């Protein structure tokens, strides 16, 4: 038989890893709903022209074609969505008459990008988004609220601490215009590469691609290197003695964001003026984040304010949202054994089979336990009890159930303690009812 070669960029977890994934997703769902966000799911495909209309490049899109389609049969060119924001825009437009605004939605789904797979980057992966979308207007306070939702969600995951780094597009745009740079979008894209390529390359790109003078490039880098956990960044920017209405407005918003967020969750948001976000549709606050000790992984949660992404020509639907790269986080914590489940199966009890003539009794016992919410497996063989216990131990199943001449008994194979029990009342400890996540051995 020919060896099956794995497809890179399409992560698949072993059962233990899948337990980690499911608990992470469950935690995110529960937290988003605690913050009053409703769940939606959108289709996997969108028209390619819509996908291309939001500043993305065609190389990121997987096209969808039928193998047997004849010429001209597939009139609409479709592609798999590469994020959940573009589908949200279309969803809001199609359903605006049925939605209550501001519309608070969360969405946890797979997306696809035609990128070169590498550490933390996949061609198929899960994102978890939260957005608030308004009709015609959206209050600024949501730009403070949304990063705090993500800080709350991420703090409940079994991962290192995540801090949100924030900036404001108005600050960057106003600053660039004040120093005489006219191609703001290209400048933002170049600055967005700072962590990847370093100051020297960014300077070279600014001078080459936006015709920045050495002085303009220097000032652009000085702005990008400003970080602060409080509002002191505003004084540093004021020291440049540059002024514009857009710059002043952006500074006021960024100060309000940093002070407002940290008043509610201290240390949750840091002002970081190099945060640019390369996508064209962001217009206000922008966010990125990294896991402490895993900065090499890049941003694990990002997003921003957008005012013109969603419009039908008559109405606009401004919004603000953030997205967690769930698969990026999982690949790191599973691959580096940052966390591990206490067992690799959901099973709490293995019911031993004395011999095959008694299997029906074992199955009856299992059904009785399952009715009370206890995950139960019946031993696949009636081998010697020692082998059945080893079977349970390999899977991390904590209890083995025996039917004996003296009645029903349960053995905790971790301690070796075996006690008589009543099938209708026995209950394992709450901590044993499902696998728990704990720090792995790195």
pLDDT tens-place string over residues 271-308: 999 997 766 678 999 999 989 999 989 899 999 999 98
Q: Any bridge partners for residue 339, and if so which? A: 439
Per-residue pLDDT for 150 more than 80? yes
pLDDT at position 60, please? 84
State the pTM of this model: 0.91
pLDDT tens-place string over residues 25-73: 999 999 999 999 999 999 999 999 888 876 555 568 999 888 777 666 6
Going along the chain from its start, the domains and CATH numbers come out as 15-340 (3.30.930.10), 349-439 (3.40.50.800)
pLDDT tens-place string over residues 311-320: 888 899 999 9
pLDDT tens-place string over residues 8-19: 999 999 999 999
Distance CA 381, CA 402 (A): 14
Sheet of 407-412, strand order: 376-378, 349-351, 399-404, 407-412, 417-420
Per-residue pLDDT for 425 more than 90? yes
Residue 424: asked if its preceding bond is cis (omega within 30°), the reply is: no
148 pLDDT band, cuts 50/70/90, is: very high
The proportion of the chain whose per-residue pLDDT surpasses 90, expressed as a percent, equals 78
pLDDT at position 66, please? 80
Beta strands, E only, 117-238: 124-133, 162-168, 227-228
pLDDT tens-place string over residues 384-397: 999 999 999 999 99
Ramachandran region, residue 277 (left: φ > 0; alpha: ψ -120 to 50; beta: rest) = left
């Amino acid at each position: 038989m020919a060896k099956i070669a794995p497809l890179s960029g399409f992560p698949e977890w072993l059962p233990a890893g899948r337990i980690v994934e499911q608990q992470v997703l469950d935690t995110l769902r529960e937290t988003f709903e605690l913050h009053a966000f409703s769940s939606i799911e959108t289709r996997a495909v969108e028209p390619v022209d819509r996908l291309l209309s939001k500043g993305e490049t065609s190389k990121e899109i997987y096209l969808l074609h039928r193998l047997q389609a004849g010429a001209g049969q597939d009139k609409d060119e479709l592609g798999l969505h590469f994020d959940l924001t573009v589908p949200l825009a279309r969803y809001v437009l199609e359903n605006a008459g049925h939605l209550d605004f501001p519309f608070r939605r969360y969405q946890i789904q797979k997306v696809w990008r035609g990128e070169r797979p590498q550490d933390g980057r996949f061609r198929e992966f899960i994102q978890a988004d939260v957005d608030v979308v308004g009709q015609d207007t959206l209050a600024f306070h949501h730009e403070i609220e949304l990063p705090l939702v993500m800080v709350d969600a991420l703090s409940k995951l079994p991962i290192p601490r995540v801090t949100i780094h924030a900036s404001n597009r108005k600050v960057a745009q106003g600053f660039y215009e004040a120093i005489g740079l006219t191609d703001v979008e290209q400048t933002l894209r170049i600055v967005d590469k700072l962590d990847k390529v370093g100051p020297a390359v960014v300077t070279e790109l600014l001078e080459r691609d936006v015709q920045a003078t050495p002085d303009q490039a220097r000032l652009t880098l000085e702005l990008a290197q400003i970080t602060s956990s409080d509002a002191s960044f505003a004084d540093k920017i004021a020291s440049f003695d540059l002024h514009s209405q857009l710059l002043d407005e952006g500074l006021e918003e960024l100060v309000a964001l940093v002070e407002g967020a940290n008043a509610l969750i201290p240390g949750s948001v840091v002002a970081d003026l190099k945060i640019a976000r390369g996508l064209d549709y962001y217009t206000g606050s922008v966010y990125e984040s990294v896991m402490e000790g895993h900065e090499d992984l890049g941003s694990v949660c990002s997003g921003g304010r957008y005012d013109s992404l969603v419009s039908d020509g008559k109405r606009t639907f401004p919004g603000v949202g953030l997205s967690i790269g769930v698969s990026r986080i999982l690949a790191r914590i599973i691959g580096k054994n940052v966390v591990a489940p206490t067992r690799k199966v959901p099973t709490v009890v293995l019911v031993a089979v004395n011999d095959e003539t008694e299997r029906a009794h074992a199955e009856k016992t299992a059904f009785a336990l399952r009715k009370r919410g206890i995950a139960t497996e019946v031993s696949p063989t009636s081998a010697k009890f020692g082998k059945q216990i080893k079977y349970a131990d390999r899977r991390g199943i904590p209890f083995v159930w025996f039917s004996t001449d003296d009645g029903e008994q349960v053995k905790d194979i971790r301690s070796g303690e075996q006690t008589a029990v009543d099938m209708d009342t026995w209950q394992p400890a709450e901590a044993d009812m499902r696998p728990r996540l704990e720090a792995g051995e790195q």
